[in-house]
Amino acid sequence: MDIEAVEQRAGPREFGPADDMPEEYRKAATRMLQFHANSEIMGAYLEKPFIRQSPSVDRKLAFSAKVQDEIGHGQLLYRAAEALGVKTREEMLDELARGDGKFLNCFHYEMTEWAETPMIAFFVDGAAMKRQATLKQSSWTPYAHAMDKICFEEGFHVKHGEDIMRELATGSRKEQRLLQEAFDRWWPRILQFFGPTDDKSTHHDFAADVGLKTMTNDELRNQFLNAYVPKARKYGLEIPDEPRIRYHEDDDRYEVVEDDLDWDEFFAIAKNEYPEGLDQINGRAAARDAVAWARDSLESTGAGGSGSPTAPVGGD
């Protein structure tokens, strides 16, 4: 097929590995899937320390399950990308370890305090659910199938994050203060989760034309605001003065003043030039190097099949 034929046929779950897809489609879908898979892995690494830092056995078990889920999501998505025939899973993992692989802005920042955990587990995962629900309609069938499982599990992650936030919001004054401080720090980053504004997005038009995605960055951002501004207020959080959030009473919707967001920092992150992000990448690379002996052992004994080791995708 050529691109014209793809655009004419494009629809939910329309194409699969048996289809003769044009190179432009394969590369665009690989870029999109690799970015998503990398983000799942880096999100798991951001939350992994809280398995130990959690204040109770139940919380430790919940975080352990969540991290395991995220690593599994990365595995599913790398396989869906690999089916496009552009890159292997190992090539994509190597690019991530070298700092060449891109991933979501939120996972470039350091997270050290317990009060920060619902910023990822509730708000970021909630934002992810808004985006991922639309990807169930992706034209690349392996991607859409992966999203069926991922969305199911992410729903539990959001409930887990909300439970932590509820506990902090109804706790001591100190806990409430720490929660608000974490929210103030993370709110602008969360609003940038969906990517650059539509006028600065370089990939959306083609991805939409061939059915890889269905909604623009701004549409998803506004949909998230409509759902999560009320939820934040429900738990006593005050929306920061900046970035400014405008409420349109006539059609009951919220909108962020996008010029208030630090897009210079965002694009530095997109190029893997943000200092904290480099720390995250280096940590990921060190973890991968630490278990290189296991992958080499599996390859040398043939346990991983024909050149495809069975070591966990996270490198742990």
Angle 224-188-128 (CA atoms, 0-180°, nearest 5)? 35
> The tokens of 276 are what?
């904290």
Q: Which of 48-52, 92-96, 288-292 has the lowest mean pLDDT?
A: 288-292
Residue pLDDT, tens place only, 271-304? 877 777 667 777 777 777 787 788 788 778 765 5
Least Cα distance to 25 among 153, 189, 213, 162 occurs for 213
Cβ contacts of 36 within 8 Å, gap of 6 or more: 77
Whether residue 311 is predicted with pLDDT greater than 50 in this model: the reply is no
Which runs of E-coded beta strand occur in the chain? 245-248, 253-256
| Distance (Å, whole) CA 293 – CA 192 | 38
Whether residue 86 is predicted with pLDDT greater than 90 in this model: the reply is yes
| pLDDT mean across residues, the chain | 91
pLDDT value at position 49? 93
Domain 3-301: assigned CATH number: 1.20.1260.10
Q: Give the model's confidence band at 60: pLDDT under 50 very low, under 70 low, under 90 confident, else very high.
A: very high
- Measured from the Cβ of residue 205, the count of other Cβ atoms closer than 10 Å reads 11
Residue pLDDT, tens place only, 127-140? 999 999 999 999 99
User: pTM for the whole thing?
Assistant: 0.89
Whole-number Cα distances in Å, 127 to 8, 131, 169: 30, 7, 20
pLDDT value at position 211? 95
pLDDT value at position 283? 74
